[in-house]
Amino acid sequence: MLTKILGIALGFFLLGNAVRADDTFVALAAGGLVPMDPTTIQVESEEVEITPRRITIHYVFRNPGDQDESPTIAFSLPDLDGMAMCASPYHLPRKNEVNFMGFNLLSGGKPIPTQMDLQAYREGQDVTSRLAAAGITANLLQEPLNAALLKMPPEERDKLEAEGLIEAEKFAAPLEITGKRRGWCAQWTMRVRFSWTQPIGAHEAIELTQVYSPVVGGTPLMPTSDASTYGGSYCAGPELISTIAPMRVEAAQGKDKDKDVKPLLYEQAIDFVLTNANKWNGPIGVFHLTVLTLTQNDMLMTCMSGLQRTGPTRYEFQKDNFQPREELRLMILQKTRPWGW
């Protein structure tokens, strides 16, 4: 996994000589609410609003049957790989929290309590109990993990290293808790799931809203970068690609050999899982998607057919009886350096 992540980062680096490792991030895909077991509950409507900083999904669920139901509903964060995290290719909205996307669930504007399950897997095996026996949780984020390991007797850390559960590493940036660049990386995958039981009476409907911050990916688009790759990955047309060409010319003409080459644009890659909506009973009655860019000069690319620009910074898609067949991938190109980079 680490080799794959570093390969992606290296590929981005080779696109331009001014791209630094900490300027390249990998997107992680999350989606919506899903039932834990088969259910007759239907999604009457789903409204999704996506921005680079926030994703909001408003649902109306309906029970079409004659019996009350109380399905267990869940939302899972994307899996995090410990060694990939140490390579720092992700920009997590909340870098030291288990709820690293800041997931919240609301009904009528009021929070709904959920149960959070935190588990660790290594090579397909659940190692959560082994970590608990050593006095630590499955949380593999660098600061919390190293704070816990430093409190542990050295002989216990040695056992975890011998079992291949942690590995000593030198970090690019010093750890906040020690000020030192040496510490340990987790050798497991962290899985986080939120769940709750939701009563829905016979022939009744309820409204739920989930909110979280996406893990956005991307890298600077340099004058030497090949923008034609957007055509395959994000179905960018020749018009958009040709828009970038004059920027290259202008950059070349104004190039100062004594200064670093500056990016033409910055990427904001957002992945969203649509197909988990198919776990509910039947298609989505009315599906409405809104994508908002930060400025009217931002360029949006996606292979999703039917997403139309309806305002300076707004793009929309709506379909009745919607049954998604593939996931949503968005690429936003913007002139200003993204928030958090």
pLDDT score of 331: 96
**Beta-carbon count within 10 A of 152 CB:** 15
* CA–CA distance, 127 with 148 (Å, rounded to integer): 17
pLDDT, tens only, 103-146: 999 999 999 999 999 999 999 999 999 999 999 999 999 999 99
Q: Which helix (H) or strand (E) holds 130?
A: helix 128-133
pLDDT score of 143: 95
* CA–CA distance, 232 with 254 (Å, rounded to integer): 30
Helix (H, G, I), strand (E, B) or coil at 156: helix
pTM, 2 dp: 0.89
* CA–CA distance, 63 with 24 (Å, rounded to integer): 45
- The low-confidence residues of the chain, meaning pLDDT below 70, are 1-22, 88, 248-260, 340
Helical residues (DSSP H) of 173-228, grouped into ranges: none
- Residue 88 is given by DSSP the state -
Sign of CA dihedral 130, 131, 132, 137: negative
CB-CB contact of 127 with 134 (8 Å): no
CB-CB contact of 168 with 182 (8 Å): yes
pLDDT score of 1: 35
pLDDT score of 233: 86
- Residue 275 is given by DSSP the state G
pLDDT score of 41: 98
E strand residue ranges, the chain = 34-35, 42-50, 55-62, 72-76, 80-81, 104-107, 110-111, 115-122, 125-126, 166-170, 182-186, 189-197, 205-212, 220-221, 265-272, 284-292, 299-302, 308-309, 314-322, 328-334
Domains, the chain, ordered by start: 2-76+201-334 (2.60.40)
